[in-house]
Amino acid sequence: MITESNLIKYILKESDDFAQYLKSSDVNVKQEDNYTTLAELARYILKSFKEKETDKLRESFRVIDDIFNEGDAYVKEAITIGLLETLQNNISWEKNIKQEEFSPYLPKTLKEKWDQIIDFWENK
């Protein structure tokens, strides 16, 4: 089971490219909390989308889906709020990108969470 204490280790183990991306960022994983690193993962995913690196995009969502499905309650919430909602917020600042464009890359479970977040904010 993936928990708060091993969440980021799991991501880094499963995503060499994201691990390399982090080395070029100013995020120090050992000093930051999970939500800060997940926000950086959201930026990495958006960058992959903008650069049309669909293999990286699909792989990122595959890893995230595995984490969500194998995670405890903390992990599920962190993925939903710390990653998916942060990604949606980042997309909202982009002029030429729409949230719907990410739907084809989202596995079923993540797509359901993605849509729930959109519904929550639209009906608030």
Domain annotation covers residue 1: no
pTM: 0.92
Would the pLDDT of 28 be above 80? no
The whole-number pLDDT of residue 74 equals 97
CA distances from 116 to 18, 23, 105, 111 (A): 26, 33, 16, 8
pLDDT given at position 5 = 94
Is the separation of the CB atoms in 92 and 121 below 8 Å? no
CB 24: neighbour CB atoms within 10 A?
A: 7
Asked, for residue 13, whether it belongs to a domain, the answer is yes
Domain presence at residue 29: yes
Q: Are 83 and 64 in contact (CB under 8 A)?
A: yes
- Residue 64: inside a domain: yes
Domains: count for the chain: 1
The neighbouring-strand residues paired with 2 are 71
> Tokens for 71?
């995670």
2 located within any domain: no
Q: Which domain holds residue 70?
A: 7-122
In a domain, 21, yes or no: yes
What sign for the dihedral angle of Cα 52, 53, 54, 57? negative
* CB neighbour class for 124 (10 Å; exposed up to 12, middle 13-18, buried from 19): exposed
- Average pLDDT on 84-96 reads 95
Mean pLDDT of the chain: 92
* Residue 41 binned pLDDT confidence (cut-offs 50, 70, 90): very high
pLDDT of residue 122: 85
